[in-house]
Structure 1
Amino acid sequence: MKKPRLRIKQSQSTFAEGNARWTNLDLDPVPLHKRKWGPLSFIAYWISDAFNAATWQFASSIIAVGLSWRESLGIVALSFFIISFVISANGAVGAIYHVPYIPIVSRVVLALFWFAIQNVNGANAVRAMVGAIWPGFLAMPNRIPEREGITSNGMVAYLIYWVVQFPFLCLRPDRLRWLFVVKSVVVPVAWIAILVWAFVAEGGGGMFEQRVTVHGAQYSWVFSASMNSVLGNYATLSVNQESDFSRYSRVSPKWQLLYIPTLPLIFTFISFIGISASSAGQSRYGAPIPWDPIAHLSNWSSRACRFFGALSFALASLGVNISANSISAANDLTALFPRYISLRRGQVLCGVISWCLVPWRILASADSFLNFMSAYAVFLGPMAAIMLWDFWVVKRRKYDTLALYQAQNPVYWYTWGVNWRAVVAFLVGVGPNLPGLVHSVNAGVRVGVGLHPYQFGWLLGFVGTSVVYVVLSGGGAVMAEEVYGEGSVKDGSGL
């Protein structure tokens, strides 16, 4: 009997010569014939990524803490205007050199957990879909103990969602463009229909009449904390946009600038839909504002509307889970174990591990763990800052591509494999946020004014790390001499 092949096919390119243990076909720079992502592909990707339940709830949740709908939409727009610069700048590296980013073990863990949790969100949408077709499904007797955080019909819905999602985990990123295109058409149409209903049926509801209920210093801290929350939700993409998708670009890196005007517009518009639908739902059904869109549409009397509405959220969850979680985990697992893991195997492994993490129990009982997951942005802000300034200022937009694939190459080996400047800058960016992070995980720990830096932790970490890293690197002069030699300029972009 032939033994299964555990090792994957290794790269035969120049980048793997004498160094096969560090790369494979998925890690090599993307060859010209596989660079298929153009402007429309990236626009579809971002529309697809934006249309998900979290974006729907952004502004609505900000209103719940005391701000008005105007401030809420302003915070969303400002937050995405800021982070769009970071996404665009870091994405340009992949678009120029077509290489993946270095493995980040912490990002693997984060992506795995969020993938599992998003599976539950998708399963909730599937549960509503099946319930719309077969009402008896929602009345199915529950055989699972309440402490598990999931019902019998919820488990069936989770299995259905997981099985439907699995084939997409077997596709390489360059072959997922059509998924994002489909989602960028179907989901916006469905959600715009919900927006029209909100104004036709209830005139938008009463939420638009609400006023700000916090004032003075409290207003400032609530504003900062809300903006930090929005930034934190997409902090991951400010790091992984380079490695995951922009490397497949077939157009000029200047197209990355398209993100700066489009991301704020798209995300703010979706948040407006969420506000309108929640407000209209409160007026129509006389219940507390249903921030959860699935809870909102479950009140609809039309079974067809419930089905297609839930279908849009299931598709939204599927698209964002692939783009933001499974591919991120697969890229880093591939970089960590290139002999045994490819992008396909990495995504499949991500899907299998999602069962082991029992995410329904996490959502049901582990509030402190979810707070920590949301607070993870305080680490990603400094990471994004180091990536951005290392390329644009320190390395002066020049990377030696071949040296990136050679272990202990003096160009990027630094001091025993560690860039101490990056480590110091990272610690400076993260340090002030740690007291607030501890308090968010365990509210019983009193930190006093130490909570305030955490309330704008992403911005604080990003700015602090940026200044320290650039200063320690001598504004680029020190590192340029270490990497390329004094007075030399090396362009590694010629592939």
Structure 2
Amino acid sequence: MTLGFSWRETIGIIFLGHFLISLAITANAIVGAKYHIPYTIQSRTSFGFFASFVAVFIRMLVGFFWYGINTYNGAICVNAVIIAIWPSFKDVPNGLPESANITTQMMTSYVVYFLITLPFHWIHPRYLKWFFDIKTISMLGNYGTMAVNINDFARYARATRMVYAQILAVPLSFMLMSFMGIIIAGAASDLYGTDIWDPLTIMSYWSGSSGARAAAAFVSLSFVLAQLGANISANCISASNDLNAMFPSYVNLRRGSYIIAFVGAWALTPWNILASASALLNFMDGYIIWLAPITGILLSDYYVVHRQTYDVEDMYIPHGKYRYNKWGTNWRAVVAWLIGSVPLIPGFALRVCLGL
């Protein structure tokens, strides 16, 4: 809307974009639902047994970074809950913490949110599917990464037909949420006299009475749950699957989840990333240029090259048919990946350097 589109055009664009990506997600999910294999195993059929580790690492890296960033965003939401309940805890203007400053208040909220997420790493991924649903309707992010590793979830489907619901669930959910967001932002802009698109900023004005603070607390809590669902499903489960595939003798899904949690949320110090590394954030936003070609290769390999037929047993054999050559690499997939990603690097570099 800030680019000049009407609210109707904006909602239409959001619906169309997510409808198109839902087609890719569903088409890839059919593989996982049919053969009950995760992305880490599926990638072997396309890239070769050993070259698949490169494709897995590319997806795992984005999971590490976004886990930390989303954990920090969840901490901001926890901080908003605390401020709404305990006004004296507020020590910054408008009742919201500044990302550039890590105060004792913010670190307390960060620890609280981190501890909230830890128990969920003990739950098996198949029982976290409702968190994925929360992500579908709450996370306003790029779904391109999910098109790559959707089979980390689709593998638990009892029947292949179950994945078709995503074709409409994804675009309709985003369209509904964007419609509500436009109404809320428009009302807040008229009420407070300035354009406000950040819901946490809107809630910073809700401090005039106990009822207003209670509303801010409940709304902030919903954002905490949304961040939790997004982080566990999109980042933690996916990246832990990747770690498990790369180090199967040492890392299971639970151990992988804890590694992701501590490296992503603490070792990478996401508060520093958000405070100063705008180029890194632009890099992570543009990371899709490497993931999208992987999705295309996975789809073409299944539907065109192998004609919707895989040998699951050979996927787990280092010297099976999916080794392709002595290096365990399908050079055709590597070339296709380079053709799909290399031409986009100049524009990507411009975005990172200039912050576009």
TM-score range, shorter chain: 0.7 to 0.9
Deviation at 1:377, TM superposition (A): 0.9
The residue type equivalent to 1:85 in the other structure is: L
- In the TM superposition, what are the counterparts of 1:309-328 in structure 2 within 5 Å? 309-328=219-238
- Partners of 1:440 and 1:180 lie apart in 2 by 30
Secondary structure of the 1:136 match is helix
Name the structure 1 match of 2:35: 97
Provide, for residues 390-418 of structure 1, a one-character-per-residue CA deviation record: whole Å limited to 9, x for no partner.
Answer: 11111111110000000121x10113211
> Displacement of 1:165 after TM fit?
0.8
CA–CA distance in 2 between the matches of 1:271 and 1:147?
25
2:241 counterpart of 1:343: no
Distance 2:81 2:121 in 1: 22
Aligned mate of 1:372, from 283, 307, 310: 283
1:83 pairs with 21, 24, 30, which one?
A: 21
SS of the counterpart of 2:27? Answer: helix
Aligned counterpart for 2:106 among listed residues 135, 154, 173: 154
Work out whether 1:293 is the aligned partner of 2:245.
no
Displacement of 1:150 in angstroms is: 2.1
Contact persistence 1:331–1:343 (CA under 8 A)? yes
SS at match of 1:442: helix
The runs of 5 or more residues in structure 1 that have no matched partner are 1-62, 141-145, 192-229, 445-450, 452-495
Q: Which residue of 2 aligns with 1:263?
A: 170
Q: Which residue of 1 aligns with 2:311?
A: 400
CA distance in 2, matches of 1:169, 1:91: 23
Percent identity of paired positions between Structure 1 and Structure 2: 45
In the superposition, relative to structure 1, how do residues 373 and 180 fare at CA in structure 2: closer, same or farther (>3 Å)?
closer
Q: Distance in 1 between matches of 2:90 and 2:121?
A: 29
How many Å separate the matches in 2 of 1:284 and 1:307? 20
> Judging changes above 3 Å, is the alpha-carbon distance between structure 1 residues 178 and 80 closer, same or farther for their aligned structure 2 residues?
closer
Query: What is the TM-score of this pair, normalised by structure 1?
Result: 0.64
Contact preservation (8 Å) 1:132, 1:306: yes
Q: Distance in 1 between matches of 2:99 and 2:39?
A: 40
- Partners of 2:132 and 2:67 lie apart in 1 by 17
The equivalent of 2:68 in structure 1 is 116
Q: Deviations over 1:6-50 (max 9, x none)?
A: xxxxxxxxxxxxxxxxxxxxxxxxxxxxxxxxxxxxxxxxxxxxx
Aligned amino acid, residue 293 of structure 2? P
Report the AA paired with residue 345 of structure 1. R
User: Matched residue of 2:323: which SS?
Assistant: coil
Given residue 145 of structure 2, which amino acid in structure 1 is its aligned partner? T
CA contact 2:38–2:149 (8 Å) conserved in 1 = no
Is 2:146 aligned against 1:240?
Answer: no
Q: Distance in 2 between matches of 1:66 and 1:150?
A: 36
AA paired with 1:162?
A: F
SS at match of 1:363: helix
Letter in 2 for 1:72: T
- Once the two structures are superposed, residues 80-119 of structure 1 have per-residue CA deviations (whole angstroms, 9 ceiling, x without a partner) of 1111111001111110111122241011110010010001
In structure 2, what is the equivalent of residue 277 of structure 1? 184
The answer to whether the 8 A contact 1:149-1:365 is kept is no
Distance change >3 Å, CA 147–CA 276, structure 1 → 2 = closer
Which whole-Å CA distance do the structure 1 matches of 2:131 and 2:19 have between them? 26
Corresponding letter in the other structure for 2:201: A
Is 1:72 aligned with 2:24? no
Matched-pair contact (CA < 8 Å) for 1:88–1:259:
yes
Of 306, 309, 330, 2:240 maps to: 330
Structure 2, unpaired ranges of 5+: 41-52, 93-97
Q: Is the 8 A contact 1:391 1:397 kept in 2?
A: yes
Residue 254 of structure 1 pairs with residue 161 of structure 2: yes
In 1, Cα distance between equivalents of 2:303 and 2:340:
19
SS at match of 2:158: coil
Q: After alignment, is 347-356 or 258-267 more displaced? A: 258-267
Which residue does the alignment assign to 2:300?
Answer: 389
Aligned Cα root-mean-square deviation (Å):
2.2
Which position in structure 1 is the counterpart of 2:124? 172
Q: Which has the higher helix share?
A: 2
The SS at the match of 1:245 is helix
Partner of 1:227: none
- Asked if 1 retains the 8 angstrom alpha-carbon contact of 2:74 and 2:113, the reply is yes
1:71 to partner: Cα distance? 2.1
Q: CA deviation at 1:338?
A: 0.3
Q: What's the CA shift for 1:139?
A: 2.5
What's the counterpart of residue 129 of structure 1?
A: 81
Does the CA contact (< 8 Å) of 1:170 and 1:345 recur in 2?
A: no
Contact kept in structure 2, 1:132 and 1:307, CA below 8 Å: yes
Rounded Cα–Cα distance in structure 2 between residues aligned with 1:115 and 1:91: 23
Contact 2:128 2:233 in 1 (8 A): no
* Gap change, CA 1:327 and 1:398, over 3 Å in 2: same
Letter in 1 for 2:203: L
Partner AA of 1:340 in structure 2: Y
Q: Note the C-alpha offset of 1:76.
A: 0.8
Partner AA of 1:304 in structure 2: A
User: Would the aligned equivalents of 1:116 and 1:355 in 2 still touch at CA under 8 Å?
Assistant: yes
The correspondence for 2:337, drawn from 421, 426, 447, is: 426
Distance 1:435 1:165, change over 3 A: same
Partner-residue secondary structure (3-state), 2:150:
helix
CA distance in 2, matches of 1:173, 1:431: 34
Residue identity matched to 2:249: R
Measure the CA separation in 2 of the matches of 1:334 and 1:131. Answer: 40
Following TM superposition, by how much is the alpha carbon of 1:147 offset from its aligned partner in structure 2, in angstroms?
A: 9.7
| Structure 2 counterpart of 1:290, one-letter code | I
Give the aligned length: 331
